[in-house]
Amino acid sequence: MTTGRITGAILLAATMGWLAAMYAQTALPPDIYPESRNRLPIPKREDFSGDERKLFDEMMGHQTGGSNPGTNQRPLLRMYSPNLARGLEQAREYLRNGTHLGERVMSVAVLTTSRELTNQYEWTQFEEHARNPKDARYLEPRVVDAIKFCRPVTDLDAKDAAVISFGRELFGARKVSPETFAKVLQLFGRHDTVDLEELMGLYSATAAELVAFDSQLNVGQKPLLPPGAKSCMQPR
């Protein structure tokens, strides 16, 4: 084989390898719509009429980019039921921004919920936030790793440890011990304990949505939850 043919064969092999890698990265299950990256296409304004169309317009205005959303389409699933979307958005807005919990507790709570429910999509989004020192949801690596790798929480801040233990028992053991609940109540009080549980409950509902509609990670996004991850409360 001549030098030119050898070079051409090498280039062809490299190109085929690159294309295979790109396909592996972008290939989706057959029932997934590429534009939405889940099992439903992006809802359109003409799908609705009357009051539902007004609600659709209102809710679309809350999405990033208005009526021309970007690549992350997962929140648009709920727009197929505009009344539901509005109610959940109001609850989400309060639980994210209207409580006394603060960004740190919210971040620990959502990470713990998504970790216990082994939800790859939600975990990956929030780990990226928590690892970014410039993000308001930033957490020290030892806190993120304690949640991610099911490590003991005895050496963590009292509130961090209480939230993690609460979430592990709530979603992993499906039973919260009197001791864990008493600690949460002591640290947060009645009002904020209710808000904390409802915040975690909201994200558990989101996890169910993500599983039902098989929402895929964003294009080019690397999954961050360990392969084969189980609840921290299951035997290792």
Q: What pTM, to 2 d.p., does this model score? A: 0.82
pLDDT digits (tens, 9 = 90+) for 28-37: 999 999 999 9
3-state secondary structure 160-208: HHHHHHHHHHHHHHCCCCHHHHHHHHHHHHHHHHHHHHHHHHHHHHHHH
Residue 58 scores a pLDDT above 50? yes
Q: What is the pLDDT of residue 63?
A: 60
| Residue 111 or residue 65, greater confidence | 111
Phi then psi dihedrals of residue 197, to 5 deg: -65, -40
pLDDT digits (tens, 9 = 90+) for 94-119: 998 999 999 999 999 999 999 999 99
Q: What is the pLDDT of residue 71?
A: 40
As a whole number of angstroms, the distance between CA 128 and CA 136 comes to 12
